[in-house]
Amino acid sequence: MTDTKWLSRTELLIGNENLTKLHNAHVLVVGMGGVGSFVAEFLCRSGVGEMTIVDGDIVDPTNRNRQLPALTSTHGQSKVDVMGARLMDINPELKLHIIKEFIQPEVVESLLHEKLDYIVDAIDSITPKQTFLIAAYKSGMKLVSSMGAGGKMDPTQVRVADIGKTYNCPFAQQVRKNLKKVGIYKGIKTVFSAEENNKDSLILTDGSNFKKSAYGTMSYLPATFGAVLTSVVIRDLMGEVY
């Protein structure tokens, strides 16, 4: 990295050695929605030197209450393209790989063929999430997964725990159920909320993009999930025990 002045406040906190660790790291972020878009930005602003971002979706007006790429000026545009431009504007020296695809088995195989220092799963649909998590878990690479941020209001109840110890999260419950079918009961670090879901905010959808239902969302909750996920990645890359 030739220009480090913009990271001077980060270096002041973590030191040059840790800043170098982050610069040398390659992190994969799958999903550029309300959670994943914040993860990508926070990682970029933390000085992570290489990133792969993945999403096949486009910006919809309903995304604007919680997703970084969603603006009135970006409706209909690719989420990864919008986020890619934003990340490169933050750090022009970022080694950025953009994958404009939805998660399918063949896509997962190509993604995990790369040598990655960390994987962040921010997929918000059960079927592709299951496909990706099983493959990522079996790869043996470091992994952290986001559970459901919808139907929640209290950011102080966001937690980090093994998938087997999540609770009060219908999304995590379904993920656990699917993973158990293939013999995975634990060993996946997750970020989830211990707050009970607001069941009155649940609606049925048309089933597009593997989503049959959706909860109402508040702007700051997905961002909080993104902050906690990023914290897990950053501190782990630095070698902290927590």
What does the H/E/C string look like for 85-150?
A: HHHHHHCCCCEEEEECCCCCHHHHHHHCCCCCCEEEECCCCHHHHHHHHHHHHHHCCCEEEECCCC
Asked whether residue 3 is domain-assigned, the answer is no
Residue 92 structural domain: 8-237
Mean pLDDT of 199-221: 80
Asked whether residue 185 is domain-assigned, the answer is yes
Q: What per-residue confidence (pLDDT) applies to 111? A: 95
pLDDT tens-place string over residues 36-45: 999 999 999 9
Counting Cα atoms < 13 Å in the Cβ hemisphere of 242 gives 15
CATH number for 66: 3.40.50.720
Bridge partner residues of 120 (DSSP): 29, 144
Asked whether residue 225 is domain-assigned, the answer is yes
Q: What per-residue confidence (pLDDT) applies to 201? A: 87
Global pTM reads 0.95
**Structural domains of the chain, count:** 1
Q: What per-residue confidence (pLDDT) applies to 242? A: 43
pLDDT tens-place string over residues 91-148: 999 999 999 999 999 999 999 988 999 999 999 999 999 999 999 999 999 999 999 9
Asked whether residue 149 is domain-assigned, the answer is yes
Q: What per-residue confidence (pLDDT) applies to 157? A: 99
13-17, 67-71, 208-212: least confidently modelled range: 208-212
pLDDT tens-place string over residues 53-96: 999 999 999 999 999 999 999 999 999 999 999 999 999 999 99
Helix, strand, coil percentages (3-state) for the chain, rounded to 5, are: 45, 15, 35
Asked whether residue 155 is domain-assigned, the answer is yes
Percent of the chain with pLDDT over 90: 88
Asked whether residue 136 is domain-assigned, the answer is yes
Asked whether residue 1 is domain-assigned, the answer is no
Asked whether residue 132 is domain-assigned, the answer is yes
Average pLDDT, the chain: 95
Q: What per-residue confidence (pLDDT) applies to 211? A: 65
